Amino acid sequence: MILSRLSQVKALLEVSLLTLIYIALVYWPLEALVKGSWPWPWYGWFSKAALMFITLCAILLPKRKLETYGFSTRVAHFSLKWGLKFMIAFILPSLIVLVVLLVMGQARLRPLTFTDVVLSLVWYMVFVGFAEEAYFRGYVQSRLDEAFGKPYRRLLFNSWRVNYGLGLPITAIFIFGLPHLANWVNPFTSKCTLGLGTSLLVALVCFAGLVLGAIREATGDIWASTLFHGGVVIAYWISSLSDKGLAMVSLGIGWGIFFTKLFDTFLREAEHLNARLTYTDSHGSGKRT
């Protein structure tokens, strides 16, 4: 029992320290030094590249396996299939709302070039979606799962079943969600723009982190959660292209589609797939898919 508690404390200190190092020694100093002088999105790319570097060091230097930390291709076909469905569920409503407003003359499109579109898509998909999922759901959640185990099965409803442990909520709320407050606070520049709006947004990020964590546990990798994460932020970006600011409406539609049409089926299929893989492994035959 004592050894178990010590391993849990060690894991918590490890992931907390690395997250603090990134925020205090990379994110905040970069924002203070170069955000205003470097053209978008190079400042952000450098910051997220540093996060990916920290992720790889945290996994590879202790000689941990990438497959165990979410970089597995064992069920990649399943993860990519569902990840694309999640993306479409969020992006399509945002596109439809934007086009309808433009056609009806109720909104104007912000000036945008083809380069702007390409850079934005790369930024949101690779440097936000992939980089953050690799760190938070790949490294952090996996590391905490090693220490805390995954003794729980039921999420909010009886039909929502997935093996998970305290690593999921700890990552979602305390390592992923609340540190987003760093976007509105910076001691190097004396910035502090916290308010009710930012508090609500951070609460939504914590909630999204719980969903992303559940997706990661269900698939055993980060590919579906990466596409989900990228899809949400791309949908938000699409909604911001007009002067109406209807991001919350579009995202609300996306979340509605996700929970009413996709999430339950996804978890059931993931459960069946994992049961089949477990059976195959225990009998030592059959191909891994």
Number of domains in the chain: 1
Instruction: Tell me the two tokens of residue 39.
Output: 């053209």
Query: 107 is in which domain, residue-wise?
Result: 2-283
Q: 214 near 155, Cβ under 8 Å? A: yes
Residue 288 lies in a domain: no
Residue of higher predicted confidence among 247 and 72: 72
- Cα separations (Å) of 40 from 35, 116, 122, 144? 8, 10, 12, 34
Q: Model confidence over 91-102: pLDDT tens digits? A: 999 999 999 988
Residue 240 lies in a domain: yes
What is the residue-averaged pLDDT of the chain? Answer: 93
Residue 104 lies in a domain: yes
What does the alpha-carbon distance between residue 2 and residue 194 come to, in Å, rounded to a whole number? 40
Please tell me the predicted confidence (pLDDT) of residue 242.
84
Residue of higher predicted confidence among 134 and 30: 134
Q: Three-state SS for 108? A: coil
Please tell me the predicted confidence (pLDDT) of residue 245.
67
Q: 222 near 216, Cβ under 8 Å? A: yes
**pLDDT of 33 strictly over 70:** yes
Please tell me the predicted confidence (pLDDT) of residue 123.
96
Share of the chain above pLDDT 70, in %: 97
What does the alpha-carbon distance between residue 287 and residue 276 come to, in Å, rounded to a whole number? 11
CA pseudo-torsion sign 142, 145, 146, 150: negative
Residue 18 lies in a domain: yes
Q: Three-state SS for 29? A: helix
Residue 219 lies in a domain: yes
Strands 152-154 and 185-186, by their bridges, are unpaired
Residue 6 lies in a domain: yes
Q: Model confidence over 134-171: pLDDT tens digits? A: 999 999 999 999 999 999 998 878 888 999 999 999 99
**pLDDT of 289 strictly over 60:** no
Residue 164 lies in a domain: yes
Please tell me the predicted confidence (pLDDT) of residue 157.
80
> Which residues in 135-198 belong to E strands, given as ranges?
152-154, 161-164, 185-186, 191-192
Residue 289 lies in a domain: no
